[in-house]
Amino acid sequence: MNDLISMLFWPISGLVLISIVITVHELGHYWVGRMFGAAVESFSIGFGKSMVERTDRRGTRWRINWLPLGGFVKFVGEMQAPTDTRDDLATEPETVVARKDNAKPAHPVGRPYTALNPWKRLAVSLGGPAANFIFAICVFAGISMTLGVPQAKEVSVLAVVTDSPAARAGFQPGDIVVEAGGRRVVTSYDVTQATILSAGEAVTYRVQRGDEFVRLTATPKEEVVRNEGLQVTEKLGRVGLQLGQRDVSVRQYNPIEAVGYGFSATGDAIGATVNVLRRLVTGMDGLDKLSGPVGIFSLADKVTDLHMKQENVSIVQKITDLLISGIQLAALLSIGVGFFNLLPIPVLDGGAAVMCVAEGVTGREIPENVQRIGLTIGLACLASFALLVTGQDLIKLFGWSAGS
């Protein structure tokens, strides 16, 4: 029974995860555009032909398309792809006020996207990533209020591996770790997080040893680690510490504390993403640190199996645990999508933002042929990058190697 449910959840969990994040992102663009009076031609979840579609009273087509990987919002007059041409036709704003019945307007209501000044278009471009970050903040805040956040009275060193980076740095059993990588340690996870993403780079730890506080610097060594729970193999930084926690409790935050925790957790995730990108650009890490749709579907599958194959747990509890994990995954994926879209690459929101700033500063619109060339180049780069990441996902999924 559990295997059957797990098989049914495999495609659903991955699709729902991606659809939630993309819908949040596109709604960010949509609402900011609406706020400035832009006419919206269509709001689509997925690509290809419509599977389900309806047109609202503002003339916007709300669509669920056949290929459920991604989505987009299309403003009137907006050029989104190299083959797009601008159509500045839009109904006058007063049309929506004049209609008292349920009749649909012949054209989307509002102003063409090109009629917005560059600073308003900049806000529309940034609306998607902003929505992703706000979604993550809300999820983390909600979890901290309902499920609570683990906290330990202290995190101590139980043992130090001989001839490890930690041993060479001077760690001793009994040390209490109070800071790791410049951040306060609340649970052992904080020490692990500061270590695993810093292989080959020095990390500073602050420990309490008796009545004294000592700063120790260790350089994590990259190791291949097998996560048996998720059935994945990863390359992580390790220093050779065995940690223990005393008096672990779960504290539920009040609304004000929860919002602060949401911002902090989201900021930490963004910081980790920036660190991964920095290490990727400098050659310290490879593309195996990144995941595309295949990797996301695989992770959703592993998480589904992990929860649905628990023993001596009711089916209701399994599904509840799976939903909680799915929401947390959606928040983390939302942060990744939001950050990735801020990169200054044509086709992405960051590229559109750069062009809006350039237009706002110079006072001259970027020529349409220049925009089209930029979009073509950006699309080619994005497609190449997607192929590389997908290749890495397949290697991790099937365990292929250069020698096989």
pLDDT tens figures, 328-367? 999 999 999 999 999 998 888 999 899 999 999 998 888 8
Please tell me which residue, 399 or 18, carries the higher pLDDT value: 18
| pLDDT-above-90 percentage for the chain | 46
Sign of CA dihedral 209, 214, 218, 224: positive
Q: What is the pLDDT of residue 124?
A: 96
- The pLDDT-based confidence of 11 (bands split at 50, 70, 90) is low
Please tell me which residue, 291 or 2, carries the higher pLDDT value: 291
Please name each of the domains of the chain with its CATH number: 1-34+117-148+253-404 (no CATH), 37-115 (no CATH), 149-251 (2.30.42.10)
Q: Report the catalytic residues.
A: 26
Q: For residues 193-215, give the mean pLDDT.
A: 92
Contact 233, 224 (CB under 8 A): yes
Q: What is the pLDDT of residue 81?
A: 52
Please tell me which residue, 374 or 28, carries the higher pLDDT value: 28
Q: What is the pLDDT of residue 316?
A: 85
Q: What is the pLDDT of residue 127?
A: 96
Closest-CA residue to 192 (of 256, 137, 240): 240
Q: For residues 175-180, give the mean pLDDT.
A: 95
- The pLDDT-based confidence of 86 (bands split at 50, 70, 90) is very low
Q: What is the pLDDT of residue 168?
A: 94
CB atoms closer than 10 angstroms to residue 404: 7
Q: What is the pLDDT of residue 82?
A: 47
Q: What is the pLDDT of residue 88?
A: 45
Please state whether beta strands 203-209 and 241-246 pair in parallel, antiparallel, or not at all (unpaired).
Answer: unpaired
Residue for token pair 């050779």: 240
Q: Which residues are CB-neighbours of 276 under 8 A, at least 6 positions away?
A: 197, 285, 289, 290
- The pLDDT-based confidence of 399 (bands split at 50, 70, 90) is low
Q: Mean pLDDT score of the chain, rounded to an integer?
A: 84
Sign of CA dihedral 366, 372, 378, 382: positive
Q: What is the pLDDT of residue 398?
A: 66
Please tell me which residue, 393 or 62, carries the higher pLDDT value: 62
- Answer yes or no: is pLDDT of 383 > 60: yes
Least confident of 86-90, 100-104, 242-246, 259-263: 86-90
Q: What is the pLDDT of residue 330?
A: 92
- Answer yes or no: is pLDDT of 248 > 80: yes
Please tell me which residue, 40 or 7, carries the higher pLDDT value: 40
Cα distances from 127 to residues 28, 42, 187, in angstroms, run 5, 17, 34
Encode pLDDT of 92-142 as tens digits: 444 444 445 556 676 789 999 989 999 999 999 999 999 999 999 999 999
Q: What is the pLDDT of residue 9?
A: 53
Beta bridge partners of 155: 245
Q: Which residues are CB-neighbours of 139 under 8 A, at least 6 positions away?
A: 262, 327, 328, 330, 331, 334
328 burial class (0-12, 13-18, 19+ CB within 10 angstroms)?
middle
- The pLDDT-based confidence of 253 (bands split at 50, 70, 90) is very high
